[in-house]
Structure 1
Amino acid sequence: MATFDSRQTISKFPWNARQAWLLKFEAAVAFHALEMSQQISDEIGKPREEAYVTELMPLIAAIRWHRNRARNILRTQRMGGRPWWMIGRSLQVSRVPLGRVLIIATWNYPVGLLGVQLLQALVAGNVVVVKPSERSPRSQAQLLNIAQACGLPNDVLTVLDSSPQAGRDALEEGGFDHVMFTGGTATGRAVAAHCAETLTSSTLELSGQDSAFVLEDANMIKAAKSIWMACTMNAGQTCMAPRRVFVQRSGYRKFLEALAPHVAGAKPLQLIDHSAAQRCEDLARQAVASGGRSLSAVIDGARAGCLRPLAIVDCPVGANLVAGNYFGPVLAVVPVDDFEQAIGFHRQHAHHLAASVFTRDTNRISRDCELSGRLGVSVITLNDCVLPTAHPALSIAGFAQSGWGTSRGVEGLLQLTRAVATTTTANWLPVSDIPTAKIVQGLSKFIQWMSHAKPVAWKNQSVNTPQNRTRATQEMAKRPLNELSK
């Protein structure tokens, strides 16, 4: 269990020093961006140009966003709304660092994801320990070396070995105030179990097996291109990319016509390993055996970790492919009667990070305040997939089997701090006495007048309390069985 004194970090890395570091860090990352993109390409097979656009550009934008806004987000705030009976007292809320933060990094966006997590943890004033991914150690070492060279104080950033054992050892040793993990749900559960032993808070961004919804009024050409790009970006190894797309039947044929050229022209993509590619192929073949069909009419076998992207259309909603438990460039296309049916199918699955909706009536969707709750996601993109989520102010929060906690944006930055409330009572204000019955009676009348108090009638039986549930059970037990069946 950590016993962290936030003054240690704040004194070593005060705001002026953090601002200077952010300025240097942005300049250095921008200068080395193409070189870093090439390193990513060499290490995990992502094309250099794609690495630059999907990782380095968003990271540079995030650094600048924090440089311009973080201090204001984390400033001490005087809180308004004081009740009249608290005259002479004021309240302010400050944000202080959590302490010692462990980041267990992932490989699929080795610089983009780790870069923002590192950035936010440091800007919030924490001491940071990073366990790089064993699959992308060189790319992440390059990023961490640049961060250190831009003026981080000693002992503010520590880098562990990239082996899986190093992560397990760090969790076993403990001493952290917060743990950030990005990766699969199974490993996330193990991380959560370790954190639970010491009541250490955590941010778990786990598997996303997300949905796209194409409504009948959508621009089918735009929808097909956007969804296919998201499906194949980073060889389908993107947590917020759609695994399944629900298309209204009235627009289904047009959508398939728009999607077909993209699928036909797809070239084999390199996945992180052969087992990932083989699982994608196996699930696609199972879906075809269950009644689906490959839009390109063929399914090429996975070879040496490579797989030609696939769209399995007319996919049975019960197929394992629709569940989305894979990491690669395969898309399940499911026809639906309407949006409500699509949401129902979507809710059968427990991994939700983001959802995409394609429609011309964007106002109707954006005004539906209940939609995000029904979809169980923290991000909804209208008429696009994935790319809009690169906005540095956008936060991502796992839900259900996709984890918990928030990263990126305002909420992600705040999560790496804790709130401290400080009240000040004026010297002239006397210490309050315990109120008398007469004073309480007078206060009650005054508050009722202020609140326009009105009586309300209720029945105790309608309140869903444990006592009432027990009473109802007892009464039911006394009734004959023939009455209970009525």
Structure 2
Amino acid sequence: MTLDRNSFFIDGDWREPTTGDLLEVISPHSEQVVATVPAGSPADIDAAVEAARRAFDQGPWPRMTPAERIAVIEAFSGLYAANLAEMAELITVEMGSPTSFSNLAQSPAPWMQIEAFLAIARDFSWEGTRPGALGADIIVRHEPVGVVAAIPPWNVPQFTVMSKVIPALLAGCTVVVKPAPESPLDTYLMAELFAEAGVPAGVVNFVAGGRETGEHLVRHPGIDKVAFTGSTAAGRRIGAICGEQLKRCSLELGGKSAAIILDDADLATTVEGLKFTSVMNSGQACVAQTRVLAPRSRYDEVVAALAEGIGSMLVGDPADPATEIGPMVARRQQERVRGYIEIGQSEGARLVTGGVGMPDGLDHGWYVRPTVFADVDNRMRIAQEEIFGPVVSVIAYDAPADAVRIANDSEYGPAGTVWTADLEAGLDVARGVRTGTYGVNTYTMDFAGPFGGFKASGVGREFGPEGLSQYTELKSIYLPLPQ
């Protein structure tokens, strides 16, 4: 079976690209090309935006009732549920996510998002009446924001695109999706399922491409809102463009989250949890808690337990169900992560496990050994800069208030955890750390609650009613005074 594609999904149909330029999808494990897809040009983006603009300005989708739109997305949800295994396999092939993680999160979690947003949409107050301060009632409406540019990253491509496309569609918007050049294959399956579900022509469009294609989409005058997940540097660029044009935007960006271990924590349970939260998806996650804050009284014990737990994780072929750590998505990412390991050593941090060499038993692929550093000062680059790989820094603290201060000493604020036998003490810590999401003895994303970051980790929120509201504009209609 070939994974090659030769068209884009535009205006409800498969359309030939305007150029012969191609994107090569390269397996991070074999380093071999596994597929080619067209590389979108400005003309392709123009066609997709024109279709979305026409569908919004003239088509039925924004004019349907919420219940009618919900029915179409329910059909899409059923089709998506029937294709979870294929979607997970595509993501493992294109970006190297271990199949265990792909079948846990890369496709089931997006489907859970669909179902959560459907439940939210059914109860959402699309239009309501409230008493006005001047004596007459006011009708307050949530109306669709317009044409949305959805730009997901490569690390969790379906997870991040679904958090944008589904609430946008339920709100009555139309969408142009520009997947990352490393991971376009999953969106082709997504487009097929939307077409089968009966989404009208032009309502959702897919054009793959690189950075220049993405900037053309962001700048396009036909776009009303940009929804982006990716690096903070790219988010600043997109935010500046949207600010110039007074265009709505929501940005989910980088992170350098901290896990705080209190002195009463059960260490075995804590380390088992941190094996997931600190190096999930091979460390390629914005919410990964790659700073572990340990009480000085138990510091050596924590370091030893983390080194054993993370250092013993199985690294290898992402298609192997036993693999816990897969490759980095690209050679450049492998080199970046290895560069930070060298920086950590040069800064004086103590390498406890891992390092820059290839993992045992592997002679090809973009792999990095799971690495734990001890004796890390929070001012070091490895503690302040997002590495986006399986590299964990253990930092000592003296008291819980000191731990909160260190956790907050970062330009980022997407996530975090605290590990303790005392729930109330954990909640005190959770309330003091400036992040958009936080867990006590766990970390998860519940799609009923808002997700997003403080500080340089982003602008806006996804999930929950708040995530749906991001794709609406509020309109007040003033009624005459009663006679």
- In 2, are the aligned partners of 1:210 and 1:324 still within 8 Å (CA)? no
Q: Distance in 2 between matches of 1:406 and 1:7?
A: 29
Offset at 1:12? 5.2
Aligned equivalent of 2:375 = 314
Q: Given the alignment, which residue of 261, 275, 278 partners 2:308?
A: 261
SS at match of 2:157: coil
Offset at 1:8? 4.6
Aligned equivalent of 2:14 = none
Q: Given the alignment, which residue of 219, 225, 230 partners 1:178?
A: 225
Q: Distance in 1 between matches of 2:365 and 2:91?
A: 19
Offset at 1:137? 0.7
After alignment, is 133-142 or 298-307 more displaced? 298-307
Residue 106 in 1 paired to residue 141 in 2?
no
Residue 53 in 1 paired to residue 104 in 2?
yes
Residue by residue over 1:315-360, the C-alpha shift from the partner in whole angstroms, topping out at 9 and shown as x without a partner, is 2332211113211000000111012222222333201111111122
TM-score by length of 1: 0.80
Residue 21 in 1 paired to residue 79 in 2?
no
- In 2, are the aligned partners of 1:92 and 1:421 still within 8 Å (CA)? yes
Offset at 1:158? 1.9
Letter in 1 for 2:290: R
Structure 1 152/416 Cα, relative in aligned 2: closer, same or farther at 3 Å? same
**What do you get for the CA RMSD once the two structures are aligned?**
2.4
Letter in 2 for 1:102: A
Residue 90 in 1 paired to residue 145 in 2?
no
The within-5 A match list for 1:226-305 is: 226-268=273-315, 269-296=326-353, 300-301=357-358, 304-305=365-366
Residue 203 in 1 paired to residue 250 in 2?
yes
Q: Distance in 1 between matches of 2:471 and 2:170?
A: 9
Task: Name which structure has the greater RCO, CA cutoff 8 Å, separation 6+.
Answer: 2
Q: Distance in 2 between matches of 1:45 and 1:239?
A: 17
SS at match of 2:227: strand
Query: Where in structure 1 are there 5+ consecutive unaligned residues?
Result: 429-486
Residue by residue over 1:423-473, the C-alpha shift from the partner in whole angstroms, topping out at 9 and shown as x without a partner, is 323441xxxxxxxxxxxxxxxxxxxxxxxxxxxxxxxxxxxxxxxxxxxxx
- In 2, are the aligned partners of 1:13 and 1:153 still within 8 Å (CA)? no
Aligned equivalent of 1:78 = 129
Q: Distance in 2 between matches of 1:152 and 1:332?
A: 47
Aligned equivalent of 2:427 = 366
Q: Distance in 2 between matches of 1:9 and 1:52?
A: 36
The within-5 A match list for 1:453-468 is: none
Q: Distance in 2 between matches of 1:367 and 1:320?
A: 28
Residue 334 in 1 paired to residue 401 in 2?
no
Offset at 1:29? 0.9
Aligned equivalent of 2:480 = 425
Aligned equivalent of 2:261 = 214
SS at match of 1:197: helix
Residue by residue over 1:245-284, the C-alpha shift from the partner in whole angstroms, topping out at 9 and shown as x without a partner, is 1111123233234323313312333001223223322322
Q: Given the alignment, which residue of 123, 131, 134 partners 2:178?
A: 131
Offset at 1:297? 7.1
After alignment, is 166-175 or 359-368 more displaced? 359-368
Residue 402 in 1 paired to residue 457 in 2?
yes
Q: Across the two proteins, how many residue pairs are aligned to each other?
A: 418
SS at match of 1:397: coil
Residue 161 in 1 paired to residue 208 in 2?
yes
Offset at 1:405? 1.2
Q: Tell me the percent identity.
A: 24
Q: Distance in 2 between matches of 1:116 and 1:145?
A: 18
The within-5 A match list for 1:443-462 is: none
SS at match of 2:290: strand
Residue by residue over 1:126-159, the C-alpha shift from the partner in whole angstroms, topping out at 9 and shown as x without a partner, is 0111111111011122112212321101111122
- In 2, are the aligned partners of 1:117 and 1:408 still within 8 Å (CA)? no
Residue by residue over 1:361-414, the C-alpha shift from the partner in whole angstroms, topping out at 9 and shown as x without a partner, is 22244367xx54x532110111123xx11x221222232211211112211111
After alignment, is 276-285 or 220-229 more displaced? 276-285
- In 2, are the aligned partners of 1:211 and 1:244 still within 8 Å (CA)? yes
- In 2, are the aligned partners of 1:353 and 1:379 still within 8 Å (CA)? yes
Offset at 1:219? 1.8
- In 2, are the aligned partners of 1:203 and 1:406 still within 8 Å (CA)? yes
Letter in 1 for 2:187: Q
Structure 1 218/140 Cα, relative in aligned 2: closer, same or farther at 3 Å? same
Q: Distance in 1 between matches of 2:246 and 2:285?
A: 30
Residue 38 in 1 paired to residue 89 in 2?
yes
Aligned equivalent of 1:414 = 469
Aligned equivalent of 2:13 = none
Query: Where in structure 2 are there 5+ consecutive unaligned residues?
Result: 1-48, 316-325
